[in-house]
């Protein structure tokens, strides 16, 4: 990893660490690398049992759930925050994206999506993503030179 990539990752880690504590769902948590930075009552969800096995060793106090989404296997308003990093790009069709975001806002009051900025069909340098904007608008900011964050509250107009 080069110096620029390391600095980029450190800025992302600082952003994730700055999220408010609470009941948080990390969708597509993988091995728990960023999950470890979330504070409060954290639940990690991933479709890979192998990834969750690594996360379980890394984060023994975090509840981990194996599931394919959508749908999200939780009750309405179960979380204050839903966080996902580098997952949204794998939700290919506009209908699947709408369904995922609808589920995200069903289970959480606030949704934070971190995605790379330099991939075709995903957020541009201007920070716009039509597919995310379809779900109740968007608030976006660049966290690093390579990543953008979409953060949206379900109560915002």
Q: What is the pLDDT of residues 131-154, one digit of tens each?
A: 444 344 444 555 544 556 677 776
The per-residue b/e assignment along 122-135, b for 16 or more CB within 10 angstroms, e otherwise, is ebeeebebebbeeb
**Cβ 67 vs Cβ 102: under 8 Å:** no
pTM given for the model: 0.81
Tell me the pLDDT tens digit for each residue of 52-83: 999 999 999 999 999 999 999 999 999 999 99
Please, what are the domains in the chain?
3-153 (3.40.50.150)
């Amino acid at each position: 990893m080069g110096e620029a990539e390391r600095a980029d990752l450190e800025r992302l880690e600082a952003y994730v660490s700055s999220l408010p504590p609470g009941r948080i769902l990390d969708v597509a948590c993988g091995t728990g690398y960023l999950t470890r930075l979330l504070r409060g009552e954290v639940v990690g969800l991933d479709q890979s049992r192998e990834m969750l096995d690594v996360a379980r060793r890394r984060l023994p106090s975090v509840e981990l759930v194996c599931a394919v989404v959508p749908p999200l296997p939780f009750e309405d308003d179960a979380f204050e925050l839903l966080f996902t990093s580098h997952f949204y790009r794998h939700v290919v069709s506009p209908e699947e994206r709408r369904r995922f975001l609808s589920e995200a806002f069903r289970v959480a009051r606030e949704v934070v999506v971190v995605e790379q900025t330099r991939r075709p069909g995903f957020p541009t340098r201007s920070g716009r993503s039509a597919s995310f904007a379809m779900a109740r608008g968007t608030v976006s900011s660049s966290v690093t030179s390579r990543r953008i964050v979409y953060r949206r509250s379900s109560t915002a107009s």
